Structure 1
Amino acid sequence: MISKFDGWYMESGPDTDVVLYSRCDIARNISGFLFPNKINLSDSADVVSLVFSFFCSLGDSSYFKKLKLRAIDPLSIKLLEERGIILPDMPEKIEKAVLVHENGSLYIGLNLEDHINITSFAAGMDPEEVYARASFMELKMREKIKFAEDRDLGFLTSNLMGIGTGLKFSVLCSFPGILYSNYLGSVLELTKQNNLNVAGYYSPNSKSSIGALFFDFKCRICRR
């Protein structure tokens, strides 16, 4: 069950009265394999096997649970969807998997959107912490796994907007007073001026707003 990997939910963090959580995503693809939307079943299984083998070599491998999606129970699938780890439009008929840290602060998705999608969570407004967790794992993987990259463009991702760093920061903010006091327009204008994307946050599989907004910023610098 995925639900037991929820330790970070119980932590306090900066500005938790407004910011529910911070999130960092790093997308990487493995050199020599087609992207997940084009890869075949055999090669997708090789991607999963390669990354699983890498984690088995880590000294702290016991802290991670390796889960193949085809073997996960329906409730765990729902929980992964709620956290935005797996998406409805994932590639079909290929091997997909997720590695979960025991406290739920770190997820590594395999063949979901890219070969490797590293996602880190922290309570409150803490971009430094989520970046530190995600980037540390990315650097460890880079020592053993050759990522697809271009000298001029940077890291190659399945989403054109991610090419370069493959890095995205997000925060989920709760301010129902702004939403229900008709001040949303001014907030959206500020986000546009600061190159942020904003979206309403809804209950999973529902159109009911919970009075929260999801902000994200993609780092699109090409050269590292």
Structure 2
Amino acid sequence: MSWINEKGPLSDVVLSSRVRLARNLADTPFPTVMNGVDRDSVVNRVRRSVLGQDFSIQDYYQFLTIHDLSPADRQILVEKHLASPDLMEQAQGAAILVNQREICSIMVNEEDHIRLQCIFPGYQLNEAFVYINKVDDAIEDQLPYAFDEDLGYLTCCPTNIGTGMRASVMMHLPALTATGQMKLILQTLAKVGITVRGLYGEGSEAIGDIFQISNQITLGASEEEIISNLDVVAKQIVERERQSRYALMKNDRLQFEDNIWRAFGTMTHAKLMRLDEFMNLLSKVRLGVEMGIIPNIDIQGINELMIMGQPAHLKKFGLQNSDQKNLDAVRARVAAQKLGHNQ
């Protein structure tokens, strides 16, 4: 179970809520200047703290060293939003711990010594914050964090100093995109310290009308203030998206439904489907499910299909030939099967 196949609040617009904490050890240089011995030492210390008997969180964590993972397995962790692309590029002295439900992961020696993240389905920012705080406290009970009384938690990147916290909400915003409102929203959010990124965070595109809304600054505000500010913004965006959806449907219901069913028809009958096409069509199908137009499919099923259609997940199907055309063919077949049409 994970955020992918569990239903959460406001799931008609919000896919998931995530809280991430950046932490460093007080007695060790930042990862950017560490040697191999120091990197391995940090990995072992974090592993022992989480997997040891003194860890106060009663949960099972799987420990994975990045060096031992295949390229496909690394990418699968990224596609599930359990790990960052930057962590997967580390050749030595990097690891990740993932809990059994796949809602919490602990990245070791990415940009900081420790990157904790908790990701919950739907709109559950406060729940994710409470959970990750418990994990953070359990680690801090055993390992000394780099902390300054005036600045707060010390991090490799100055923009993370302070709380070291990034809170984000992944949202499906097809109506705001279609009506051209996203540009103004992006400009407004930037003025209040909120940043907007694509599906896989910093540097990624907002394909499939999916956006990540998160706080920009961590210094000078408490964790509670960051959560509260993002809460206000996220709920306003949810309301505007809902209003825009109903306005589009009211304005021309026949055209609105035709766009959705054309996307559904393509996804259930196409023989080849590129990733960008897949994500854009799935956005329309997701909208149809969210608006009650397409029956017998739930949001969890759409989330699962979104992840299953990513490149590394497709390669899990035992492809002997993973060239682009073959991947596109398998993606089309998976989409048709998941949406209830056998090719």
Q: Which has the larger radius of gyration?
A: 2
Q: 1:179 aligns with which of 163, 177, 180?
A: 177
Match of 2:78, SS state, is: helix
The residue correspondences of 1:75-90 to structure 2 (distance < 5 A) are 75-82=72-79, 83=81, 85-88=83-86
Q: Is the 8 A contact 1:67 1:97 kept in 2?
A: yes
Aligned residue identity for 2:85: L
User: CA, structure 1 residues 111+201, in 2 after alignment: closer, same or farther (shift >3 Å)?
Assistant: same
Residues 37 and 91 in structure 1, CA contact (< 8 A), matched pair in contact too: no
Match of 2:46 in 1: 51
Kept in 2, the 8 Å contact 1:99–1:108? The answer is yes
Distance change in 2, residues 1:183/1:161 (3 Å)? same
Answer yes or no: is the 8 Å Cα contact 1:200–1:212 preserved in 2.
Answer: yes
Unaligned 5+ residue runs, structure 2?
Answer: 224-343
SS in 2 for 1:210: helix
Q: Which residue of 1 aligns with 2:292?
A: none
| SS, match of residue 9 in structure 1 | coil
Alignment length, in residue pairs? 218
- Partner residue, 1:133: 131
What is residue 103 of structure 1 aligned with on the other side? Answer: 101
Structure 1 residue 214: deviation in Å?
1.1
Structure 1, gaps ≥5 residues long: 1-5
Alignment map for 1:1-224 (pairs within 5 Å): 6-55=1-50, 56-57=52-53, 58=55, 63-82=60-79, 83=81, 85-88=83-86, 92-201=90-199, 209-217=207-215, 218-221=217-220
Contact 2:2 2:101 in 1 (8 A): yes
Checking the alignment, whether the CA contact within 8 Å between 1:69 and 1:97 is kept in structure 2 is yes
Structure 1 residue 10: Cα displacement: 1.5
Is the Cα contact below 8 Å between 2:125 and 2:167 reproduced in 1? Answer: yes
Q: TM-score, normalised by structure 2?
A: 0.59
Is residue 202–residue 210 contact of structure 1 (8 Å, CA) maintained in 2?
no
Q: Is contact 1:30-1:147 (8 Å) kept? A: yes
Q: As a proportion of its length, which structure holds more strand?
A: 1
Task: Name the one with the larger helix percent.
Answer: 2
Give the match's secondary structure for 1:131: helix
**Matched-pair contact (CA < 8 Å) for 2:198–2:206:** no
User: How far apart, CA to CA, are the structure 2 residues paired with 1:208 and 1:153?
Assistant: 33
What do you get for the CA RMSD once the two structures are aligned? Answer: 2.5
Q: Aligned residues: percent identity?
A: 26
Q: For residue 210 of structure 1, report the CA deviation from its aligned partner.
A: 0.9
Q: Secondary structure at the match of 1:173?
A: strand
User: Separation in 1 of the partners of 2:176 and 2:222?
Assistant: 39
Shift of 1:89: 7.5
